[in-house]
């Protein structure tokens, strides 16, 4: 019989250790260009084309005041611009500058090289199973977040 408490304890323990270590390794790849939180913002905006502060706050699970501070720093660094939405001038969109795109791509490449050194220790099927399971967990968490915000 599966002991749920034991599984939860194992998950919490390993999740904490892996996340802390991966985040530390990723911070090393940032080379003082941006912080890990700033990279999360530019990576998300890069994937979406543009975003609002409210959307960033929800997706990254960060307060709106924290997002405002992150965005201001990224604008000051010349990595982001604020622009009016073409369809609703009341909405301010955040988009990457060319410099922001270049830095995002360079950091993503360094992180991909770093993570591939670990992924290569597993069989392709193990990696796919892990990613599929992790995506399923992410979907469950996102569905719960959406249901609470409605």
Nearest-angstrom CA–CA distance, 19 and 83: 34
pLDDT at 78: 96
Domains of the chain plus CATH, in order, are: 4-119 (1.10.10.10)
Does the structure show a pLDDT above 80 at 149? no
pLDDT at 150: 67
Average pLDDT (19-25) is 92
What's the mean pLDDT when you consider all of the chain?
92
Nearest-angstrom CA–CA distance, 17 and 23: 10
Q: Which two tokens stand for residue 142?
A: 């996102």
Task: Please state, in angstroms and as integers, the Cα–Cα distance from residue 89 to each residue in 36, 82, 84, 93, following that order.
Answer: 31, 12, 5, 10
pLDDT at 84: 87
Least confident piece of the model among 17-21, 118-122, 146-150 = 146-150
In DSSP terms, 81 is beta-bridged to 95
Does the structure show a pLDDT above 80 at 145? no
* Stated pTM of the model: 0.84
Listed in sequence order, the residues at least 6 apart from 42 whose beta carbon sits closer than 8 Å to its beta carbon are 34, 74, 79, 80, 96, 100, 103, 104
The model's pLDDT over 67-114, given as tens digits with 9 standing for 90+, comes to 999 999 999 999 999 998 888 888 899 999 999 999 999 999 999 999
Of 111, 134, 122, give the one whose Cα is nearest residue 25.
111
pLDDT at 88: 83
- In this structure, the number of other CB atoms found within 10 A of the CB of residue 71 comes to 21
Average pLDDT (26-30) is 87
Dihedral (C-alpha) 126, 129, 134, 135: value to the nearest 10 degrees?
A: 140
The model's pLDDT over 36-71, given as tens digits with 9 standing for 90+, comes to 999 999 999 999 999 999 999 988 989 999 999 999
């Amino acid at each position: 019989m599966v002991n749920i408490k034991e599984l939860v304890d194992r998950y919490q323990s390993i999740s904490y250790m892996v996340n802390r270590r991966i985040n530390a390794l990723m911070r090393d790849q940032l080379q003082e260009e941006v912080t890990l939180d700033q990279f999360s913002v530019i990576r998300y905006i890069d994937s979406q084309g543009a975003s609002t502060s409210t959307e960033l706050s929800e997706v990254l699970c960060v307060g709106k005041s924290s997002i405002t501070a992150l965005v201001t720093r990224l604008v000051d660094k010349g990595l982001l611009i604020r622009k009016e939405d073409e369809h609703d001038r009341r909405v301010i969109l955040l988009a990457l500058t060319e410099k922001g795109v270049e830095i995002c791509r360079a950091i993503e490449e360094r992180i991909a090289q770093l993570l591939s050194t670990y992924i290569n220790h597993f069989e392709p099927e193990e990696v796919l199973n892990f990613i599929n399971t992790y995506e399923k967990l992410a979907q469950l968490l996102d569905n719960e977040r959406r249901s609470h915000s409605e």
